[in-house]
A = this chain, B = another copy of it.
C-alpha cells in the first residue's frame, strides 16, 4: 500500500492532505508514469475516510493532469502533470534564466487555508461572505458626495497628502466618535487602508520576527495571515462559544500571558468574526485588568461594533480603559463600502506618531478621493442613516436564519447565539467534517466557509461559518433547507454503517 499519513486533527482538510501527499509521491519518484493507484473505494477503506474524500482528491489530481482514470482498468499516474516541474530552461553563457522560486523569503506554496474559501459560481447561495450586500449600497447618496468632492476639493484630493489622513475625514471621524461618546484627538487618530492595513502597521511598529501575539482561536484569517507573514509566533486563546460564557476566555489568556512574553493581544470584543460572540462586561473589565497587570497592550478590533442588531449596547474596551493600554482599529468596510479601502486606528499619541512613520514607508498615505468622499458621506449624516437601515435588514436576516435552523436542522447541530455582526457559527454533529460536508453542499449550490479556515491551531473540524448579511430571506430559507437535507442524508448514510472506520476515526477529533 502507499505510504500515506492523514491527520484528522490538522486544519488542512483530509482531501487536501491526500491530494498533496499523492502529488509529492509523484514528484519524489515513488510513483511513476504508468503506475496504477488504488480505486477510491479501496483507498478510502484502507485510510478510514469517507469515499468522497478520496474521490475529490483524485478529481483535483486528474484536473492537474497528474493521474488519469481508464474505465474498467483503473487509475494511473500519467506524464502530462510532470511537465510543469521540469527545471527552467537555461540560456547559454549568461547565467541562464532566474529561478525565482528559490529567492522568496518564505515557503508559502499552495496555501491549504485559501482553498477552504470556495469560489462561488453565479446563482449559488453564498453564506461564505461577511460583507454588506452591494444591492443595498446607498448609491445615490454616495454619488452626491463624490460630485461635491469633485466640485469643491478636486485639486486638493489629487495632490499628495498627509500620511496621518485627509484632514476633513479626520475631522468627520472625530465628530462621529464624539457623537458616539468616545473622545479622540487629532493626534491620536491615523487613517489607514482599512482594518487589514492597521494590523500590518501594528506588526511593523511593535513586532520583530519570533515575537509573540495572543489572538482568539478561531480568529479573522486576515490577521493570522499578516502575523504569519511577519514570522510572528501566534499564541491562540480559546473563544467560548457557549450560551452562558461567550468570547475570549480570559483565564486562558492569563495562562498564556504567564508563560509567554506577549507583545500584544488582538481581540474583536463585539460580534467576533467568525463566532459572533460578544465579550460580556465583566470579562471586559477582567481583560483590561489582566492587560494592565501584565503591561500588555490590547488591540481592539471594533469593525463590527456598530452592527449591534439586538440586546443592549456595551462600551468599547477603549472607552473603559484607564491605563492607556488599548489601541482601537476600525474601518468603513462593514458599515459602508469595502471597495473603498479606508479605516482608522486610535492609539496614544506616541503610538500614533510611530504608526504614522511606519505608514509613510508603507504607502505614503491612504487614497484621498475615497477619504474625501467618505468625509462628506459622514458629514451629511448619510452614514448614520445607512447604518440604521442596514441594522434592520441584518436583523431580519439573522432572525430568518435562526428560525430556519431551528426548524430544519437535525438536533445534534448547534449554533452560537449572537447579538450582531454578519455571521453565525455552526457546530455539526460530532464526527462530521465541515470541509467534507461542503463538497456535498456545493453540489447543490450552497456555499459556506468551513471552520478550519479560521483556526491558527487545534481546529474543530465540525464547525462552519454562515455569513447572513448579504443573503436575502428567500435564499436563506432555501439555503438552510438544502443544508439541512444534505446533512440529514449524510447522517442517514452513516447510520447505514457504510463508513464505520471513518466514523471511528473522525469521532476521536
Contact = CB atoms under 8 A, between A and B. Distances in A.
11 contacts: A100-B350, A101-B350, A103-B263, A105-B206, A108-B354, A135-B155, A159-B337, A160-B333, A340-B368, A362-B362, A369-B370
A357 B108 contact: yes
Nearest to A149: B146
Interface string A144-160: 00110011001111111
Contact of A150 (B134, B146, B263, B341): B146
A293 interface: yes
Interface in A352-383: 354, 357-358, 360-370, 373
Nearest to A368: B339
A208 interface: yes
A157 B364 CA distance: 23
Nearest to A143: B150
Given A100-B348, A363-B341, A208 B206 contact: no
A509 interface: no
A161 interface: yes
A237 to B, nearest CB: 19
A255 B369 CA distance: 46
B361 A323 contact: no
Contacts of A146: 146, 150, 369
A195 B80 CA distance: 40
B96 A292 contact: yes
A325 B96 CA distance: 10
A341 B362 CA distance: 11
A337 to B, nearest CB: 4
Given A263-B103, A366-B341, A369-B370, A361 B229 contact: yes
